[in-house]
Structure 1
């Protein structure tokens, strides 16, 4: 065995810990403003609920708990996300170590996750529920492989925790344990691990974890699934064959955008030895192939029988996160020498580890040269500071959840409501003045938005107040570029 193979793999986890710590630092240095998913977490952490809408509540519960202890802040948001990602990578590495003998390939499999754009870049940029899916999938997959290789009460318990968390993270997670079950059942040597009394423990743990949300789901099924179904089935008035064609082509595109870079990196790193390696197999490669196939069939069922027309690449996380490990298992089965390939791979990983934080920061900071502004360039805090000099709001009504979350971050003691989310309605009796704030698109009307006027009439019996405009300089602005907000004060009387 080469020196690389004998090297302990703990260095991978030290490297990843440093990388995710760097990501927290970069996020805090980039902008104080919040993006869509971040703002949603801050807004919805004002109350605890068994369900919040189209996404299950795992991430909301976790973030709520952290805010209770650490206070509402961008740091608390960023640390939670990067800690979840670090634990997911750690468990992925431990899973790889269970079924790969070559330590260099364990490192390649684990760090290979960074070659997936949706996981390395998109999860850092703004995803939350998808991060929770990846975290849960890593827990489940570790428990699943351990139950097959070194079965114990703990391994079945870990698999159950992963399933419970996963179902609370995103509903489409359910296809992963189903795929794993079918894949293991179709291998005679692995079947006894499924027909094991400890599987009852797996099911029981998953059931107990999801129980509070299941009660909520029973009464709110339409509310929970409507938006996802709407996104999936957005095929306009296309005929059935056209809808299926749209679904299949969106799945092919999603798979390509998810897996393309990883395939390219492995092709560069392993060169000519990769193609013959793909024809070799082992018990573990066959298991993963069956899992990915069942997952794929599950999505095809959604397209053919469920009317799904638009499959998003991030929905493939519970299936395609297996890809780096799958390639490494193939390479090991083929007996490919890894020393030179490993050195090449580390260079690519170093480029990614420097490039991703730089791109995340650069996409916002470059606005001072380009004049192209992202959501993180918007000056929510500056605007709120100016308005608080006029009067101290006792409650705030925002035009949408993005604005609501951003406002709450800077005034955590005041209830912030959003017109687009009717699920939060604290008692506003005696809370005055009420501040109304909304975003003003370029060239749009400066009048009070009709939905805000309706909300005021329906909830407070108040007539529309005078609409005013405030602007504040963008973060990383070019020249004196400013962003405009509409606002109004309601001196609400009990």
Structure 2
């Protein structure tokens, strides 16, 4: 990457830095409460492990490290996510500039990521491990492209780092380097880059990064994969032909859901030129087409032989994140003039950059008018503050990880155990008072959940305490709407 190329993309990176800074501010302004993935990170930051369950530990390790220096907080959660996203876009832009001659198309390819709903909206709304996959994919792809175009020891090293991070982010990442390897081997001009001694460095670095988790995975394979396989193979006892049909259908819908908006934006911006571009080819478009083909074949094999019946659109991130760059490569290969299209595209991106943060904030704040409440409207902090006026808990037993993570955010020095995660079970025998908290669905029983009573008996030899109820006003409440929690104290001081 030359100094000129960096200078060409500088204004794009400044724009993206401002955008992700805005997203950081909007998240802090929206709600103090945590959503599912955020709460998981806060809860699991209580301990460092080689593995945590169905998801590999890369994001957990990163968030744990930041928490050690900055403390457990919403700000620490949001800064990690937005820094990862900004770095991902930066690497994507540098990759685009490596293989696109047209500076306008390199900018369009980079900003084109914002036209993918899973990238622009879903990753900001709650996802964490998928963000890590996206980041790892951009690291790998940058190293891979550099190794093909400007091979060096550092380019092979970067590719290895990307593979290592990716395998620690999500297991389905493995299909990306596999697809890249097959696609490069199929081209005689690129084959020497694969049969290069420096590829051993790529493999060694990837292995070194993943080694601690691989040792853990060897003894915890079922724990790590059971839930994911259960989600993928859920077909309501359908017959084999029906399961395959369901899997293929869900793959098709996932591809449309992932790529549909991007294709619509590019079609609106480039018009008939885009149709003509699909007939154009270059060395890079052919490489990416082969990669995409291998990726799809891999998923089809998983459907046919692995029993997968439900493919989610976010599972396609490790490959289809390349889509905006691919479209720009096709457009360049067709020799399309981009001046007018670039201005139209920037107008669309401006709408997205304003619309996405507004939608994220509005979906929570609108409850004041609609009475429709999201998880971010729940008043966890208000509830805990009220209970701490009764007594200062020495430990907390929460009904689930969502609740546990939210409580941990506001009382980080106290161990918080979750009923739905048996992997963290510290000795609480000497910690009193112990606070039990659980969510109370509307119309549900207000009694102590049986599972909590069993946990108390099995772990502390304690009998079930009196169950009480507390309610607190929603964030952005309509009228006097309140959310209810059940709670109990074990050995509460007088």
Tell me which interval the TM-score lies in, with the shorter structure as reference length.
Answer: over 0.9
Kept after mapping to 2: 8 A contact 1:6/1:103:
no
Please name the residue that 1:473 is paired with. Answer: 473
Please name the residue that 1:305 is paired with. Answer: 305
Kept after mapping to 1: 8 A contact 2:140/2:163:
yes
Counterpart CA distance in 2 for 1:392 and 1:368 is 32
SS at match of 1:8: helix
Please name the residue that 2:271 is paired with. Answer: 271
Kept after mapping to 2: 8 A contact 1:430/1:492:
no
Please name the residue that 2:281 is paired with. Answer: 281
SS at match of 2:271: helix
Please name the residue that 1:230 is paired with. Answer: 230
Residues 116-161 of structure 1: per-residue CA shift (max 9 Å, x gap): 0011000000000000000000000000000000000000000000
Counterpart CA distance in 1 for 2:203 and 2:450 is 49
Report the Cα offset of residue 34 of structure 1: 0.1
Report the Cα offset of residue 429 of structure 1: 2.6
| TM-score w.r.t. length of structure 1 | 0.98
Kept after mapping to 1: 8 A contact 2:115/2:265:
yes
Report the Cα offset of residue 430 of structure 1: 1.6
Counterpart CA distance in 2 for 1:305 and 1:437 is 43
Please name the residue that 1:131 is paired with. Answer: 131
User: 5 Å matches for 1:150-161?
Assistant: 150-161=150-161
Residues 459-490 of structure 1: per-residue CA shift (max 9 Å, x gap): 01111110000000000000010000000000
Kept after mapping to 2: 8 A contact 1:400/1:420:
yes
Residues 327-371 of structure 1: per-residue CA shift (max 9 Å, x gap): 000000000000000000000000000000000000000000000
Kept after mapping to 2: 8 A contact 1:93/1:106:
yes
Counterpart CA distance in 1 for 2:492 and 2:44 is 24
Kept after mapping to 1: 8 A contact 2:33/2:378:
yes
Residues 169-218 of structure 1: per-residue CA shift (max 9 Å, x gap): 00000000000000000000000000000000000000000000000000
Kept after mapping to 2: 8 A contact 1:383/1:472:
yes
Report the Cα offset of residue 6 of structure 1: 12
Please name the residue that 1:337 is paired with. Answer: 337
Counterpart CA distance in 1 for 2:456 and 2:354 is 49
SS at match of 1:489: strand
Please name the residue that 1:457 is paired with. Answer: 457
Counterpart CA distance in 2 for 1:417 and 1:430 is 15
Please name the residue that 2:413 is paired with. Answer: 413
Please name the residue that 2:428 is paired with. Answer: 428
User: 5 Å matches for 1:256-267?
Assistant: 256-267=256-267
Counterpart CA distance in 2 for 1:359 and 1:7 is 33
Report the Cα offset of residue 54 of structure 1: 0.3
Please name the residue that 1:10 is paired with. Answer: 10
Please name the residue that 1:380 is paired with. Answer: 380
Please name the residue that 1:145 is paired with. Answer: 145
Counterpart CA distance in 1 for 2:102 and 2:382 is 54
* Residue 177 in structure 1 maps to residue 143 in structure 2: no
Please name the residue that 1:295 is paired with. Answer: 295
| Structure 1: 5+ residue stretches without partners | none
Please name the residue that 2:352 is paired with. Answer: 352
Counterpart CA distance in 1 for 2:234 and 2:429 is 41
Counterpart CA distance in 2 for 1:7 and 1:205 is 31
Please name the residue that 1:441 is paired with. Answer: 441
For residues 6 and 291 of structure 1, do their structure 2 counterparts lie closer, same or farther at Cα, with a shift above 3 Å needed? Answer: closer
Counterpart CA distance in 2 for 1:6 and 1:178 is 30
SS at match of 2:438: strand
Please name the residue that 1:221 is paired with. Answer: 221
Kept after mapping to 2: 8 A contact 1:431/1:492:
no
Please name the residue that 2:97 is paired with. Answer: 97
Please name the residue that 1:165 is paired with. Answer: 165
Counterpart CA distance in 1 for 2:313 and 2:14 is 30
| Structure 2: 5+ residue stretches without partners | none
Counterpart CA distance in 1 for 2:167 and 2:319 is 15
Kept after mapping to 1: 8 A contact 2:6/2:94:
no
SS at match of 1:49: coil
| TM-score w.r.t. length of structure 2 | 0.98
Report the Cα offset of residue 492 of structure 1: 7.9
Please name the residue that 1:23 is paired with. Answer: 23
Counterpart CA distance in 1 for 2:213 and 2:364 is 37
Which stretch shifts more, 82-91 or 484-493? 484-493
Counterpart CA distance in 1 for 2:14 and 2:281 is 32
Residues 38-89 of structure 1: per-residue CA shift (max 9 Å, x gap): 0000000000000000000000000000000000000000000000000000
Report the Cα offset of residue 397 of structure 1: 0.1
Tell me the number of residue pairs that the alignment of Structure 1 and Structure 2 aligns: 489
SS at match of 1:393: coil
Please name the residue that 1:39 is paired with. Answer: 39
SS at match of 1:456: helix
Counterpart CA distance in 2 for 1:40 and 1:109 is 33
Counterpart CA distance in 2 for 1:155 and 1:406 is 41
Please name the residue that 1:202 is paired with. Answer: 202
Counterpart CA distance in 2 for 1:405 and 1:192 is 50
Report the Cα offset of residue 164 of structure 1: 0.1
Report the Cα offset of residue 425 of structure 1: 1.3
